[in-house]
Amino acid sequence: MSHRTGRRTMRTAMLASTALLGAAFATTAFAQDASEEPTSVDEIVVVGSQIRGAKVTAALPVTVISEDDIIAAAPASGDDLFRAIPQMGDVTFNSSYLPATSNSARGDTGSVNLRSLGIGNTLVLLNGRRVVGHPTSQANEHLVPVLTYNTNAIPVSGLKRMEVLRDGAAAIYGADAVAGVVNTVLRDDMTDWTVSAQYGGAEGTGMRELNFSLYGGTDIQEGRGNVSLFFNYDHRDELKTTDQDYTASNDLRGLFAGTGFENSSGLNGTSNLSPWGRFTVRGTGTVGGRNYSAFTVVPSTTAGCLTQLADGICLRNTATLPGELNADTPAMGLTVMPEVDRFNLFVTGRYQINDAVEAFGELGGYRAKSQAYQEPIGTASGVSFIIPGSNYYNPFTNDPQITLTGYRFSDMGPISVAVTNTQFRILGGLRGEWNGWNWESALMWSEASAKDVSDNISATKLQEWSAKNTPDAYNFFNGGTLGNVRVGDGTPSNQAALDAIRVDMVRRTKTELGLWDFKISRPDIYQLPAGPVGIAAGIELRTESQLDDRDDRIDGTIRYTNLAGVVSSDLINQSENPDTYGERDVFSAYLEVAAPLVSPDMGVPLVHNLEVQVAGRFEEYSDFGSVAKPKFAAAWDVVDGFRIRGSWAQGFRAPNLEQINATLITRSNSSNDYIYCEALIRRGALSNMNQCGASAPVPTGFVDYASFNQNHVRKLTAERRSGNPDLEPEESETLSIGLVIQPRFIPAEMGDFTITADWWQVEQTGMVGLFRGQNALILDYLLRKNGSSNPNVVRADVTAADQAIFAGTGLEAAGEVLYITDAYTNQQPQTVEGLDLGVMWKLRTDRFGDFSANLNVSHLIKYYLDMSPGTQMLADGKASGEIAPSIAISGSMGDMIADFGRPEWKWSLSTTWRKDAWTVGAFTQYISDLYDDSLTNSAGDYWTVDSTITANLYTEYAFGESELGGALSNSSVRVGVRNITDEAPPLASGGYVGTVYQPYGRYWYASFRKTF
């Protein structure tokens, strides 16, 4: 039986079992009452321990985002909500990230990155159990595929609360809880019905959003059971590039006028892939008695125009396109944030079978359809397209074949990208009490899928329609728009050709998660002088899979063979990418003990209370082996109201299924082969390594160095990247020390205060990454100078020309590089250190109403990325002088604080006032400045992305039963504004930093809610 057949059988069995249990209906896995208002640290901590009824969670740093906090932040999506949490890092999966290919996640997505440790280091739970991951991967800064949980699959208007455990929790929850755990708790156990609607939009844009939700429930058999339902629908209109100046153009120099950076080349992001094409002739092309080996099509008014064609265009005898003809695609009115329709449905239920056993269940679904329009397709280096000489519009009289070296198919118009994301979850279980033990067991099956469909061009069909000698042939030589040379194509090819070459590019991805668990706990297994000892234990079986099914035209099923016999992907702008499938089974077991060592009534000086937590978890993976991790935490109350807490834990991030199972892919990058340059230096052809890969004088009597430099020294080098079944998990160690102060000396009429401060440090080792092709060549250069070589640099046999180059240099001759092998490996460590501060205040008065405030501060003290062993060898080589200073080592390393997506400071402040029927709430968020190292001035200084402070405000009025009556009875009206001062995201080299900021300013909304 195949793996997939076996998995279908397991899935069917789990679905059937879950459905049977779920038929009894259920509630969530938490016992805490929904109406409980947190007033002390012991009560607000609801995640971090599996012992029901234990108070040891006072030792752990937890942020609870209440319903009031959510309302004040006014998020329209899960992405908005997670961005409002200061401890969350950059959002690399987001709906405004729309790459030109389907190699990254597109559509209605948002990612989780607690403490900025990176995607995949935060565990997300729904009602206390794991959530299936979003199925589409995306490359991180280390060039490896990472997977996230989709925050937009969380219905924010259906949340009862969100709990963020800011501490390593692998010993409690298992893999991926390196940075901590986010538990989202949905409304449940409801006995009435509420309908609400909200409408809002961003000023100065066409983006409008509509939200409708319905939630409620009913008891059955006089409260013996309950069924609750939540339904949510969201619609968001498209946000266009032309709506705002920082997205309207790829030439941002005007926005930086007067800053000293306006002349930086990094601000002109216009593309030389333009309808004003660049071509080389296979042989020589002749027109009007003039010969061409390379040419561009330009307007007749362009300098260097040599041969006039019809309609105001001409040929220029060069392969270089003048910068003024570069394409500025955002001016076409493309998508910044796609149009989205999103649905969420969730049902929970519980039923008391008898006095000791209760059945519970969940059934949930999410579906989102997004529509975006991206820049027209441009050619890619991985697909070599040759225009047949028979092309009707070929300008040359001798009809030569012509290689397309740079061209944008702007006559196709903006490319449609439609992404459908779906996710469902079904869970059923039993729980109860037996001889003082709380026990619980559940079965769950969850799936997530994505279908990404976008326009593309079949190279095979394009060749067919390029070969036509009739006017319906595709015309590459008609240029763009004469009146607006950077935007669009005013002289498109005929519609028949455009329709014929257009194809859908489809990527289907899917993840599956099956889970069965059994857990027991007891808060009083043993009595110590200070109180009862609690214990929890459990086992879990988990099965996971991931499928990445690429389009037939790029996975090798359908290929394009050009007129020279070169085989490549059949899509004009895509390199080949094979399908990937991986699966694993995981067994885990955990044990947790919580013990009070000193209690207040013992009267121990300076030890009012002392509690400890010890936990450990073992996990066995079918693909890479076993892992065991411990945790220790303690809370010491020096006096009543002054607590010192701390924890130490080990954790791990399991390599994801794509990192282990990814099929071989080939990427071409321009690289220098430094060992050849070393030989040229020793022979006198180059004076130093600064000239490596550049034009240099060619001494007589040597081989043809001009040809040699082109074909050997600097070239497009194939890098073969692949998954690695020998990957080990990324290991981590977390240390946290904190204070919790509840000052008892403050008079009650001033309210209740809780002040927290937590220092933390996470050290990670074995982070998965690529060594990178250029580094592999540098290492090969270093080793060859010392008599060995890098086996990952695969070379051709040494030729006579090679022997001539290396003769007399003292170096062994090396053949031309064929390709570089670069599998994912465990590489460099990193250390991240920070400080979290919090202040919570509540005041209840009869005269002035109730007040509350919550300040949450996150400060990054250290974020240091060390070198991998291989990279360290290169750095040592540079330090010793064996590697020239001009040779740059690739990859991120060193101090990363404020590096684009890691602000040093983030804080938020939410406040609420209630008096009778009125509620007023405010939310303020601060993000400190960043530096943009892709943008420098003449002095070499980096551009500073300014800090921001934004504020939200809302007011709500609730109508009682007797007020006005009719439709307004038991209803409320809310009006609010986000970003009340209309702060635009601060300028950066790409216009704005989309991983940190949303691309719009002031946002108004109004909502109506009625309960019946």
Residue 716: per-residue pLDDT: 66
Which portions of the chain are predicted below pLDDT 70? 1-46, 53-58, 694-714, 716, 962-967
Q: Residue 655 to residues 145, 662, 773: CA-CA distances in angstroms?
A: 10, 12, 22
Beta bridge pairs of residue 922: 911, 953
* C-beta atoms surrounding 726 within 10 Å: 12
User: Cα separation of 639 and 533, whole Å?
Assistant: 22
Phi and psi, residue 20, nearest 5°? -65, -45
CA atoms within 13 A on the CB side of 531: 18
Beta bridge pairs of residue 199: 210, 1006
User: Cα separation of 249 and 242, whole Å?
Assistant: 8
Phi and psi, residue 123, nearest 5°? -90, 135
Q: E-strand spans in 166-253?
A: 180-186, 193-202, 208-220, 225-236, 239-240
The answer to whether the beta carbons of residues 611 and 58 sit under 8 Å apart is yes
* C-beta atoms surrounding 835 within 10 Å: 15
| Residue 967 tokens, joined | 């439709």
User: Cα separation of 825 and 143, whole Å?
Assistant: 11
Residue (of 591, 231, 548, 562) closest to 401 by Cα position: 562
Residue (of 378, 370, 431) closest to 409 by Cα position: 378
| Residue 403 tokens, joined | 């290689």
DSSP assignment of 658-723: HHHHPPPEEEEEEEE-HHHHHHHHHHTS-SSGGGTTS-----TTS--HHHHIIIIIEEEEEEEEE-
User: Cα separation of 734 and 932, whole Å?
Assistant: 30
User: Cα separation of 799 and 655, whole Å?
Assistant: 42
User: Cα separation of 717 and 774, whole Å?
Assistant: 9
User: Cα separation of 42 and 46, whole Å?
Assistant: 9
User: Cα separation of 492 and 721, whole Å?
Assistant: 39
Residue 719: per-residue pLDDT: 86
Residue (of 543, 603, 608, 554) closest to 580 by Cα position: 554
The answer to whether the beta carbons of residues 409 and 456 sit under 8 Å apart is no
| Residue 740 tokens, joined | 């919790």
User: Cα separation of 213 and 230, whole Å?
Assistant: 7
* C-beta atoms surrounding 254 within 10 Å: 10
Q: Residue 940 to residues 268, 443, 889: CA-CA distances in angstroms?
A: 18, 58, 19
User: Cα separation of 970 and 475, whole Å?
Assistant: 66
Lookup result for tokens 């982070």: 767
Which residues does 92 contact at the CB level (< 8 Å), separation at least 6?
111, 113, 119, 138, 140, 901, 995
The answer to whether the beta carbons of residues 732 and 178 sit under 8 Å apart is yes
User: Cα separation of 607 and 613, whole Å?
Assistant: 17
Stretch (H or E) spanning 659:
helix 657-661
User: Cα separation of 972 and 1003, whole Å?
Assistant: 21
Q: 558: which DSSP letter?
A: S
Residue 965: per-residue pLDDT: 59
Q: What is the pTM of this model?
A: 0.89
Q: Residue 430 to residues 14, 226, 459, 516, 523: CA-CA distances in angstroms?
A: 15, 15, 57, 12, 20
- CA torsion, ordered 85, 89, 92, 96, to nearest 10 deg: 40
CA angle, 578 then 583 then 587, to 5°: 160
Residue 447: per-residue pLDDT: 98
> Helix count (H) and strand count (E) of the chain?
13, 48
The answer to whether the beta carbons of residues 912 and 840 sit under 8 Å apart is no
Name residue 677's amino acid: C
User: Cα separation of 64 and 68, whole Å?
Assistant: 11
